[in-house]
Copies of this chain bind each other. A is one copy, B any other.
Amino acid sequence: MSLPESIQNLIDEFSKLPGIGSKTASRLVFYLLNKSDQEVAGFSQAVANLSKGLQKCQICFNVSEDNPCNICNNSKRDKSKIMVVEEPLDVVAIEKTPYDGLFHVLGGAISPIDNIGPDDLRIKELIDRIKTEKGISEIILATDPSLEGEATAMYITKQIKNQNIENRIKSNIIVTRIARGLPVGGDLEYADEITLTRALEGRKEYD
Give the interface of A toward B (CB within 8 A): 1, 3-7, 9-10, 12-13, 16-20, 24, 26-33, 37, 39-54, 63-65, 70-71, 87-89, 91-92, 95
Contact = CB atoms under 8 A, between A and B. Distances in A.
Contact of A46 (B13, B27, B50, B71): B13
3 A-B pairs closest in CB distance: A44-B48, A44-B47, A1-B95
Contact of A19 (B3, B18, B27): B27
Given A6-B53, A30-B89, 6 more contacts: A1-B70, A1-B91, A10-B50, A13-B47, A16-B39, A18-B28
How many copies of this chain does the complex contain? Answer: 2
A63 B7 CA distance: 10
Contacts of A65: 4-5
Given A26-B89, A27-B18, A63-B4, A40 B51 contact: yes
